[in-house]
Amino acid sequence: MRKAGVIKVTDPPDDRRNELMGKIYFWIVLALVVVSGLLFAPEKAGLAIHPMDQFQVKSYFSDHVGMFSITNVTLWLGLAVLAVFALLVLGTSRRAIVPGRAQSVAELAYGFIYKMVEDVAGKDAIKFFPYIMTLFMFIVMANFLGLIPMSFTTTSHIAVTAILAALVFFTVTIVGFVKNGVGFLGLFWVSSAPLPLRPILAIIELISYFVRPVSHSIRLAGNVMAGHAVLKVFAGFAGALGLFSFLPIFAITAVYALEVLVAFIQAYVFTILTCVYLKDALHPSH
């Protein structure tokens, strides 16, 4: 009772002090931003915005990017492997019954994808779980690593996402024919539609089937690339606007938050679409 009274007495000045400190910090940061804008935004910088430079593949030990060259692609793919290893292997090394933070996240990821495969693709798709988990962990780690400033985002390249999508496409097609034989073609023959419509629908279904890997890959690369390019464009504005550079900096903060969301959502979308396609392969009937 008495303690509560004491807190009541001391709270408002604390609040006021915090508010004051917040204001002071705000103005200090703003002043720093303005000063840095004035100091580091000479007129010659102008509107030198190169939003696509960040996507360039650079060889570290030679001028030429050959097939086996060590490039920034190699570095950031390797870091993605390390991140997956750190989370799923080092994070679970204690095998605790009551998990710690890293183990909790690893178990969440496991449960998330396992349930997705089970619910979307069906129980008989569980044997593809390590494959789908590989895709998800790689994409999500690559996306998040790409959000580190000055990093290289491997999933922003169509070459990478096209291979991922092609892997899914060929896996699904092969599994479909192996599991169902010619019956897999029933996927294109919509038996619930009226008979005259079926050939037309079959053509549409066939086209949509072959468009799948294209949309599958471009969706991921496009989203990641666009977000990063937007960040760079705003960064260019921040360099050019001098005194008012705090505006694009706030915009960058907002877009960055959105990008964090997109990084996860695109990995999720890629994975769940993989599960949907796999379901088609395992159960081709409409």
Partner 1 sequence: MASNTHDTAHDAAHGAADAAHGGGSAMPQLDFSTFSNQIFWLAVTLVVIYLILSRVALPRIAAVLAERQGTITNDLAAAEDLKAKAVEAENAYNKALADARAEAQRIAAEARAEIQSELDEAIAKADAEIADKAAESEKAIAEIRAEAAVTARQVATETAAEIVNALGGSADAAAVEAAVADQLKG
Residues that bind partner 1 (CB under 8 A): 50, 52-53, 55-57, 65-69, 71, 73-74, 77-78, 80-81, 84-85, 88-89, 92, 95-97, 99, 103, 106-107, 110-111, 129-131, 133-134, 137-138, 154, 156-160, 163-164, 167, 221, 225
Beta partners for 59? Answer: 71
Which of residues 65 and 190 has its CB atom nearest to partner 1 in the complex?
65
- Tell the smallest beta-carbon distance from residue 110 to partner 1 (Å): 5
Which of residues 188 and 223 has its CB atom nearest to partner 1 in the complex?
223
Q: Please calculate the CA angle 147-152-154 and round it to the nearest 5 degrees.
A: 95
Q: Could you give the angle at which helices 158-180 and 129-146 cross, rounded to 10 degrees?
A: 170
- Tell the smallest beta-carbon distance from residue 243 to partner 1 (Å): 27
Q: Could you give the angle at which helices 198-241 and 246-282 cross, rounded to 10 degrees?
A: 160
- Tell the smallest beta-carbon distance from residue 79 to partner 1 (Å): 10
SS3 category, 71? strand
- Tell the smallest beta-carbon distance from residue 190 to partner 1 (Å): 35
Residues 275 and 266: their CA atoms lie apart, in Å, by 14
Residues 36 and 41: their CA atoms lie apart, in Å, by 8
> Of 69, 74, 45, 57, whose CA–CA distance to 239 is shortest?
45
- Tell the smallest beta-carbon distance from residue 201 to partner 1 (Å): 34
Which of residues 73 and 273 has its CB atom nearest to partner 1 in the complex?
73
Which of residues 225 and 263 has its CB atom nearest to partner 1 in the complex?
225
